[in-house]
Amino acid sequence: MSDIIQLLPDSVANQIAAGEVIQRPASVIKELVENAIDAGAKRIDVVVVEAGRTSIQVIDDGCGMSETDARLAFERHATSKIRKADDLFALSTMGFRGEALASIAAVAQVKLTTRNADNEIGTAINIAGSKLLKQEPVSCPVGSNFLVENIFYNVPARRKFLKSNATELNNILTAFERITLVYPEVAFSLHNNDAELVNLRAGNLRQRIVDVFGKRLNQDLLPLQVDTAMCKIYGFVGKPEAAKKKGAHQFFFVNGRFMKHPYFHKAVMNAFERLVPMGMQVPYFVYFDINPSDIDVNIHPTKTEIKFENEQPIWQILTAAVNDAIGKFCEIPSIDFDTEGKPDIPLFDPDIAAPPQPKYNTDYNPFSSNNSQRQNHVPDNWENLYDNLDDIKPAPEQQSLFDDVNVDTEIADRSPAHYQYKGQYIMTAVKSGLMIIDQHRADVRIRYEQYLKQLKNRNAHIQQVLFPDIVQFPASYAVILDKILPELENMGFELTAMGQFSYSVNGVPNGLEGLDSKALLTDMVSEAVENGSPSIDSIQQSLALTMARAAAIPVGQILSNIEMEAIVNKLFACSNVNYTPDGKAVLCILPQREIEQLMG
């Protein structure tokens, strides 16, 4: 039998490796930007066309490469970061495997222009599908300029499964955001199709967080700082009032790398357990400086999973640090020691109140065999209780309180008078019994259908505001904002772009004058971002539901009979009277027969 095992060609092996390292255009940007940081760059510019599908360009002012290094950098496992196996346990750079450039060159057309400070002439290299096409000297500044075109041009299946440009651009912004938050001393810019999306100047860490996520976040950040022999933890956590249901910015970084760690996330949230409502998320930006020998980042090519040797002690240190930050910087009531002119409060005198004297029966004995104190609870002729059991007919199947209500049947005999119970429920008599309506949920259903109709018909009424508010969104929301802004205008918001994803709120939908327009807009956009890049219908439904929740009648508001009648009439005119858009029950019916049974 002839030999059948053979070595794969380098081009095939590189494509296989690229499948793990280069998954989408965002992976290319992540690898190239991390290399630029390792090269000591102080400014990094990224330019993409069609969300990286057509081209990706990364320009840096780092140390650059010599002619030999520029050619060798595209070989597999060629790296300047490590020399021996022991170096894996003392990593101080972002990259170290030497696979990124080889993987990129295997699935795209790459042009590199680079020069280091020791040479007056730079080098230009063209590579496509791992094949060197051209290498020549050129005049260029110190640093590196990578141009990656037609990603996955030789792997059609991978290119076919790329998502839409909006989704891929959102992934690029996410990856770019994670890197910029670690290196505030480096200036970054990002352009897509000649439009500037991000422009971050060099500064300190707090300024970088504010530049990325908006000035509004600045007032909600609490400094976090602890330095131990095991690790150093620093950064910021949000105040309890900054908690959100969705869209909270939560980041962990270890030695400059973004990390996902549910265990440490729980440590942070435990500190806020009694300070924020259940289900709310608090923003945090936590940075760990740990001895590289105590962690292992060489688990997955994306390097977002990291193993810790001392995970449990670090968890305890993190919990203590967050608790200390909350206790030190959160406002607490102060004690007023100025008692001049205040009424005297008498001190407690323990002699005034005598301790209670218990009384008990000394003759009582629970184990006494005195039969005179025992009673027989079994009645005489108990057998007669089970006579005529065969004549008992089973009770008819009862209707559940939350069965779907037939509107036409129930409102045929509805009472015009209503009763409000504890400022939350509207109670009214209907044909089959007593109907109980949750006034807040009913108003959510009513307003949801109104707002959705306005979005469909584009006929919202705008109420101008006297003092416009400024709302700012992070750059990572850029993709979804392009879809949402026209829908917000259709809903009745008048927004004027102020640059850098800031908008002036000059008008709000009629009926929302008393609400916090900035918080409402932030919640609406965050809800849409949380759902990814949905269709226009999904965006409209998400916006309508968020605004309906904010504008609906709150629990506890007292209503007149006329107001309750209006809610009931509008509810019964809705397409679905039984449930809110997110599936919560709006009403239930207590059947007449159950009321009669309760009354005996």
Kindly report, residue by residue over 559-573, the tens digit of the pLDDT: 888 888 888 888 888
Kindly report, residue by residue over 186-213, the tens digit of the pLDDT: 999 999 988 888 899 998 999 999 888 8
Instruction: Tell me the average pLDDT across 298-314.
Output: 71
Q: Where are the alpha helices (DSSP H) in 299-421?
A: 311-329, 407-410
The pair phi, psi for residue 394, each rounded to 5°, is: -65, 145
Quick check: 556 and 549 in contact, CB under 8 A? no
The fraction of the chain above a pLDDT of 90, given in percent, is: 21
Alpha-carbon dihedral 472, 473, 479, 483, rounded to 10 degrees: -60
Neighbours of 553 (CB within 10 A): 19
Residue 552 has pLDDT above 80, yes or no: yes
* Tokens matching residue 368: 């006494």
How many Å apart are CA 37 and CA 158, to the nearest integer?
28
Kindly report, residue by residue over 248-295, the tens digit of the pLDDT: 889 999 988 888 888 899 999 988 888 888 888 899 999 999 888 787
SS3 category, 572? helix
Edge to edge, what strands does the sheet with 231-238 contain? 221-227, 231-238, 284-290, 250-254, 257-259
Helix axes 536-551, 478-491, angle to 10 degrees: 60
**Can you give the pLDDT at residue 410?**
60
Residue 333 has pLDDT above 50, yes or no: no
pLDDT-based confidence at residue 334 (cuts at 50, 70, 90): very low
pLDDT-based confidence at residue 469 (cuts at 50, 70, 90): confident
Least confident of 147-151, 181-185, 411-415, 427-431: 411-415
How many Å apart are CA 521 and CA 528, to the nearest integer?
11
Neighbours of 343 (CB within 10 A): 5
**Position with higher pLDDT, 378 vs 580:** 580
- DSSP summary character for residue 580: -
| CA 113 to the chain's CA centroid | 39
| CA 97 to the chain's CA centroid | 31
What 3 state SS string does 79-145 have?
CCCCCCHHHHHCCCCCCCCCCHHHHHHHHCEEEEEEECCCCCCEEEEEEECCEEEEEEEECCCCEEE
In residues, how long is the chain?
600
**Can you give the pLDDT at residue 58?**
95
Q: Quick one: the chain helix, strand, coil %, rounded to 5?
A: 35, 25, 40
Token match 């810790």: residue? 308
Least confident of 301-315, 331-345, 512-526: 331-345
One-letter amino acid at 537 equals D
Kindly report, residue by residue over 92-108, the tens digit of the pLDDT: 555 545 577 888 888 89
Kindly report, residue by residue over 46-88, the tens digit of the pLDDT: 999 998 999 999 999 999 998 888 888 888 766 655 545 554 4
Highest mean pLDDT among 27-36, 323-332, 417-426, 531-540: 27-36
Quick check: 120 and 320 in contact, CB under 8 A? no
Highest mean pLDDT among 175-184, 266-275, 386-395, 486-495: 175-184
